[in-house]
């Protein structure tokens, strides 16, 4: 029974991704769907709740939700997806809290269960529960009753030292192999734009250069973001792309090189997402100062700067969870 229920889950999640593929083939974008939801009901997820946009997301959901099925089957004897209800939802989240799981892990459970609700016909009740429990988890984290995992973010000084180390390694690599490499350019670009590692490596080809120091980044779900970068960086990237005739860099290679460079710069090994967080925080500080200079209150300046920073990262302006993840609770 449990195996059949897990297979049913897999099939429904796969269909949720197939629905997105069909919409995308018709010209739909994630952003347009969210804007449509806002204009129709004020809910940005109205038209996206039963969709899955990426294979990595689907796999992440499936891993959590299979654990939920095992829990529900063992605790309550649930044998069909349709038999899952509020009781199982509450018990699974309460179990995570009682076991002392990290706040981010418990909140991810809430998000994943909300997605499950959308594919088993219980979207409204599961979404409402997810919101209530997510708020409770954040409150418990602020009170110190749930562990908060602090993700490593390099300081601006450490990041620049690591970039210079990558530059020297790239130069040495070209001298030895005869093939140019651009890991230091990738790191600079991620610092300037806050783009995801895939956006500034394998998805960045010559056709993404739009002139006048503007580069088009392909983000999550194919979302396009036009980013302004310093002219010297733009020219260096253009020259490299012309020389290699392909993408700017290999993502996995860049990730490994960045970790090595951070350690070589006497820092703790941090992934490339640390560059994204650092870029978001630098952007927030600039936006905050700009709003203050315009004469608005500190509270409003902080709120607007947070919203703009989160939006620049490719998320909805009202995503408090993403603001806390990238900027911290104090921003």
CA 322 to chain centre: 8
Kind and range of the H or E element at 139? helix 123-142
The percentage of the chain sitting over the pLDDT mark of 90, rounded to a whole number, equals: 61
Coil vs helix vs strand at 120 = coil
Q: What phi, psi does 272 have (nearest 5°)?
A: -70, -15
Residue 195: the pLDDT is 92
111 to 11, 16, 49, 79, 323: CA distances (angstroms): 19, 15, 11, 22, 16
pTM: 0.63
- What is the DSSP code (8-state) at residue 291? H
- Is the per-residue pLDDT at 235 higher than 80? yes
Buried b / exposed e along 15-52 (16+ C-beta atoms within 10 A): ebbeebeebeeeeeebbebbeebbeeeeebbebbbbbb
Q: Determine the 3-state secondary structure of 295 from DSSP.
A: coil
Q: Measure the CA angle with vertex 96, ends 92 and 102; round to 5°.
A: 145
Give the pLDDT score at 44: 82
* Domains present along the chain, CATH in parentheses: 2-142 (no CATH), 156-271 (1.10.443.10), 274-327 (no CATH)
Residue with tokens 């939700």: 65
Residue 226 has pLDDT above 70, yes or no: yes
């Amino acid at each position: 029974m449990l195996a059949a229920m897990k297979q049913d889950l897999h099939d429904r999640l796969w269909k949720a991704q197939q629905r997105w593929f069909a919409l995308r083939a018709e010209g739909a974008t994630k952003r347009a769907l969210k804007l449509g939801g806002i204009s129709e009901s004020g809910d940005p997820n109205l038209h996206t709740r039963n969709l899955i946009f990426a294979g990595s997301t689907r796999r992440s959901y499936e891993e959590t939700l299979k654990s939920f099925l095992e829990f529900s089957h063992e605790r309550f004897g649930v044998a069909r997806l349709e038999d899952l209800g509020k009781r199982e939802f509450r018990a699974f989240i309460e179990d995570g809290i009682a076991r002392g799981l990290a706040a981010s892990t418990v909140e991810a459970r809430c998000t994943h269960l909300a997605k499950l609700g959308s594919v088993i016909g219980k979207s409204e009740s599961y979404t409402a529960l997810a919101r209530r429990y997510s708020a409770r988890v954040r409150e418990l984290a602020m009170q110190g009753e749930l562990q908060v995992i602090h993700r490593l973010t390099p300081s601006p000084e450490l990041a620049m030292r690591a970039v210079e180390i990558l530059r020297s390694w790239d130069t040495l690599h070209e001298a030895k192999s005869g093939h140019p490499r651009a890991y230091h350019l990738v790191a600079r670009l991620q610092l300037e734009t806050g783009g995801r590692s895939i956006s500034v490596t394998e998805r960045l080809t010559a056709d993404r250069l739009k002139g006048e120091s503007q580069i088009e980044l392909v983000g999550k779900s194919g979302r396009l973001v036009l980013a302004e970068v310093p002219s010297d960086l733009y020219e260096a990237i253009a020259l490299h792309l012309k020389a290699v005739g392909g993408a700017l860099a290999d993502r996995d290679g860049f990730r490994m090189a960045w970790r090595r460079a951070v350690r070589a710069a006497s820092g703790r090994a941090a992934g490339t997402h640390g560059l994204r967080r650092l870029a978001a925080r630098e952007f927030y500080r600039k936006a905050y100062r700009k709003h203050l200079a315009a004469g608005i209150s500190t509270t409003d300046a902080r709120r607007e700067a947070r919203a703009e920073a989160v939006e620049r990262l490719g998320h909805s302006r009202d995503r408090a969870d993403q603001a806390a993840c990238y900027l911290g609770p104090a921003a």
